[in-house]
């Protein structure tokens, strides 16, 4: 079974995670059989290791990590890269995949553009 | 004329801004007459004040600020709130609007869900 990890930055304010929770709900509504965990780089819990351990406990033999970040900053390239290496060392039998950050996805850029244009006053 | 400001966090790595630049291109392709500026909270330039001044210089009488953030963290609620107040004080004739962060937009959440589900291996 393949699990998904939505990997975000984390913040002190619990409201920050609400869009991540909504995203998980949306994914679960569309793919009810796919286990989805959130994971956070800092401040919030669980971290990547704990999220992956949850998925393994739920029977996953592969996990796909989706960085919920705009771009390839140091959090994605360096911090997440190191965390993924550690995860592979800790779970040698687990197939760990990591995709580019969501902000590089063409459909996401299109939705962001629609959102921005819809924000303009009607008389633009 | 109404201008758009795409307000992002900023990062040390110039590659971080690439999705913001692609977003601006996408918006300009769809609304060629709408002036669009990027603005950054920290590290990168221009800041919000300089971006707004550019739009005023280009003839805008209103600006709409779109926070390119996932959620309502302190960067959006506190930092951006204070910057918007300062902007209104500096440009009393300018109509300054600010919308919720893009991560709260339903279409964006949907596109993020599609992106995450497409990342799963084909045999999911």
**Cα distance from A41 to chain B (closest Cα, Å)?**
15
**Cα distance from B94 to chain A (closest Cα, Å)?**
14
CB contact under 8 A, A19 and B113: no
Q: Which value does ipTM take for this structure?
A: 0.94
The model's confidence at residue A11, banded by pLDDT at 50, 70 and 90, is: confident
| Residue A1: alpha-carbon gap to chain centroid | 18
Query: What pLDDT shows up at residue A81?
Result: 92
Query: What pLDDT shows up at residue A22?
Result: 95
Res A69 pLDDT > 80 = yes
Q: B18 contacts in A (CB within 8 Å)?
A: 71-72, 104
Q: B15 contacts in A (CB within 8 Å)?
A: 71-73
Q: Which residue did the predictor score with more confidence, B69 or B112?
A: B112
**For B3-56, how does the pLDDT look when each residue is reduced to its tens digit (9 = 90+)?**
999 999 998 888 889 999 999 999 999 999 999 999 999 999 999 999 999 999
Q: B107 contacts in A (CB within 8 Å)?
A: 111, 114-115
Residues B88, B107: Cα–Cα separation, whole Å: 30
CB contact under 8 A, A115 and B66: yes
**Cα distance from B19 to chain A (closest Cα, Å)?**
6
The per-residue pLDDT of chain A, averaged, comes to: 93
Query: What pLDDT shows up at residue A123?
Result: 65
Query: What pLDDT shows up at residue B78?
Result: 86
* Contact in structure between A24 and A38 (CB atoms under 8 Å): yes
**For B56-110, how does the pLDDT look when each residue is reduced to its tens digit (9 = 90+)?**
999 999 999 999 988 777 788 889 999 999 999 999 999 999 999 999 999 999 9
Query: What pLDDT shows up at residue B123?
Result: 65
Query: What pLDDT shows up at residue A75?
Result: 81
Res B124 pLDDT > 80 = no
Q: Which residue did the predictor score with more confidence, A72 or B79?
A: B79
Residues A91, A115: Cα–Cα separation, whole Å: 40
Question: Which 3-state string (H, E, C) describes A39-75?
Answer: EECCCCCCCHHHHHHHHHHCCCCEEEEEECCCCCCHH
C-alpha distances out from residue B61 to A31, A86, A121, Å: 46, 52, 12
Nearest to B114 by CA among A57, A15, A67, A26: A26
- Which of B11, B62, B113 faces A23 most closely, judged by CB atoms? B113
Query: What pLDDT shows up at residue A1?
Result: 93
Q: B110 contacts in A (CB within 8 Å)?
A: 26, 111
* Contact in structure between B34 and A119 (CB atoms under 8 Å): no
The residue of chain A nearest to residue B109, with distances taken between CA atoms, is A23
């Amino acid at each position: 079974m393949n699990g998904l990890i939505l990997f975000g930055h984390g913040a002190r304010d619990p409201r920050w995670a609400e869009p991540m929770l909504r995203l998980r709900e949306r994914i679960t509504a569309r793919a009810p059989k796919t286990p989805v965990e959130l994971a956070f780089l800092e401040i919030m819990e669980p971290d990547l290791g704990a999220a992956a351990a949850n998925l393994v406990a739920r029977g996953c033999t592969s996990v796909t990590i989706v960085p919920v970040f705009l771009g390839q900053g140091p959090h994605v390239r360096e911090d997440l890269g190191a965390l993924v290496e550690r995860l592979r060392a800790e779970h040698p039998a687990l197939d760990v995949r990591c995709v580019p950050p969501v902000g590089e996805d063409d459909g996401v850029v299109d939705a962001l553009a629609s959102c921005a244009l819809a924000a303009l006053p009607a008389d633009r």
